[in-house]
Amino acid sequence: MYLLFQNKPRIAAAAAAGGQRELGGPLGSAFDVGPSAVVPVKDKNNGTKNIPSKDDMFGQRTWEQAESMLQKLALDAALEKAGMEPGALQCVFAGDLLGQSIASTFGLLEHERPLIGLYGACSTMAESLLLAAAFVNAGYVEAAAAVTSSHFASAERHFRMPLAYGSQKPPTAGRTATAAGAVLVSGGGMPVNVESAYIGRVVDGGITDVSDMGNAMAPAAHDTLTGFFSASRTNPADYDLILTGDLGLFGRRTLIELCKRRGIDLGEHYHDCGLMLFDTTDKDVGAGGSGCGCSAVVLAGHVIPGILNGRWKRVLFAGTGALHSPISAGQGLGVPGICHIVVLTA
């Protein structure tokens, strides 16, 4: 489904928050908030005091609470950049990887804003951004936020083996990013427009290995990209940057091959967020970065500033997600994929 935003909603601000490994990667300078952020922590008397955090726990008691704090820090940073109070946001679109989207629920609780919870797996940044832009474009709201996150440790506990188990991962597996991104959309702001979007379909490529999510998502990315190019009457050469997030090493190769079979050459301007966030020579990274936060921080911390400084004028951001759960995997079902597109222009 192709959406052309006639009123050209604009990015008011964007911010990225991340963990230690993320800040130590190739895009470390793109983060607004890191593990040493000042966070509110409850004391013995159930009071609250602000202290610098020390690690990826962000001053919290559990990994899940740490991920919620990441979302709060990212949204607060974006609001500060825009010079906005939380009350200026008329709606927040947010989601994460955890059951019942608890990272978003608790992370955004104190902002007291109308919340639409989403689940698009790793495509959530694109999903939330296109919905925020659609609401602003239609005049339903004057300002909205798109927020999402992931945390390496909370994702491992939810989807795979406990960290203490020390299980080995195959080469096709990636590393879930400890990161959160927030993008504010309004009728004014920075000179970055949300030009159009494309809502993708659920596609099952026949992959049943939950450690191979890149290849599982590639057919959905191919389906959405071919549909988008046809509906928008554009081609890859019309974009300065085409970005998927996050197929990783193997999924990217598969997507390139699938597109070639349809006569589509994604060209040298095609990159993948999972291969940009981490140094893939690191054996602990595997096939690259993954998780909702991966593409969110690449977009919020690297791509949007790149448009502002003139590096790119027209960017096609294709968020990809693997729509499986521990229950579906345990029942032997496949790993369907989804892909949504948002086009940003200077």
Choose one of 167, 186, 205: the last residue of a domain: 186
> Number of folded domains in the chain?
2
Indicate whether 312 and 250 sit together in one domain. Answer: yes
Task: Write down the H helix ranges in the chain.
Answer: 20-23, 63-82, 102-107, 124-138, 152-159, 213-232, 248-261, 273-276, 292-298, 304-308, 326-330
Tokens of 226: 């071919």
Amino acid at 216: A
pLDDT, position 281: 82
Indicate whether 30 and 140 sit together in one domain. Answer: yes
In a domain, 70, yes or no: yes
Choose one of 186, 208, 242: the last residue of a domain: 186
pLDDT, position 283: 73
Query: Domain containing 71 — which CATH number?
Result: 3.40.47.40
Q: pTM score, two decimals?
A: 0.93
Give me the half-sphere count of Cα atoms (radius 13 Å) on the Cβ side of residue 84.
26
In a domain, 309, yes or no: yes
Asked if 303 and 283 count as a contact pair (C-beta separation under 8 A), the reply is no
User: Can you tell me the distance from the alpha carbon of 170 to that of 164, in angstroms, rounded to the nearest whole number?
Assistant: 18
Indicate whether 135 and 281 sit together in one domain. Answer: no
Indicate whether 163 and 245 sit together in one domain. Answer: no
In a domain, 232, yes or no: yes
In a domain, 181, yes or no: yes
Indicate whether 122 and 214 sit together in one domain. Answer: no
Question: Which residues are bridge partners to 184 per DSSP?
Answer: 13, 145
Question: What is the percentage of the chain residues whose pLDDT exceeds 90?
Answer: 72
Tokens of 44: 């013995």
Q: 10 Å Cβ neighbour count for 231?
A: 14
Which DSSP category does 302 fall into?
I
Q: Give residue-wise pLDDT tens across range 282-319.
A: 877 888 889 999 999 999 999 999 999 999 999 999 99
Provide φ and ψ at 35, rounded to 5°.
-65, -20
Question: Which residues are bridge partners to 91 per DSSP?
Answer: 144
Asked if 308 and 190 count as a contact pair (C-beta separation under 8 A), the reply is yes
Indicate whether 95 and 236 sit together in one domain. Answer: no
Indicate whether 98 and 206 sit together in one domain. Answer: no
**Per-residue pLDDT at 167 exceeds 80:** no
Asked if 339 and 223 count as a contact pair (C-beta separation under 8 A), the reply is yes
Indicate whether 161 and 34 sit together in one domain. Answer: yes
Across residues 217-227, what is the average pLDDT?
97
Tokens of 186: 């309004």
Across residues 262-286, what is the average pLDDT?
90
Which candidate, 221, 224, 212, places its Cα nearest to that of 249? Answer: 212
In a domain, 256, yes or no: yes
Indicate whether 136 and 227 sit together in one domain. Answer: no
Q: Which residue's structure tokens are 């800040």?
A: 23
Choose one of 186, 208, 229: the last residue of a domain: 186
In a domain, 156, yes or no: yes
**Per-residue pLDDT at 174 exceeds 90:** no
Indicate whether 15 and 153 sit together in one domain. Answer: yes
pLDDT higher at 260 or 158: 260
Q: Give residue-wise pLDDT tens across range 31-68.
A: 999 888 888 776 666 666 677 888 899 989 999 999 99
pLDDT, position 108: 93
Indicate whether 200 and 111 sit together in one domain. Answer: no
Q: What residues make up the domain containing 327?
A: 193-345
In a domain, 1, yes or no: no
Residues listed for the chain: 346
Indicate whether 337 and 299 sit together in one domain. Answer: yes
In a domain, 46, yes or no: yes
Question: Which residues are bridge partners to 117 per DSSP?
Answer: 94
| pLDDT range class, residue 166, cuts 50, 70, 90 | low
User: Can you tell me the distance from the alpha carbon of 215 to that of 15, in angstroms, rounded to the nearest whole number?
Assistant: 29
Average pLDDT, the chain: 91
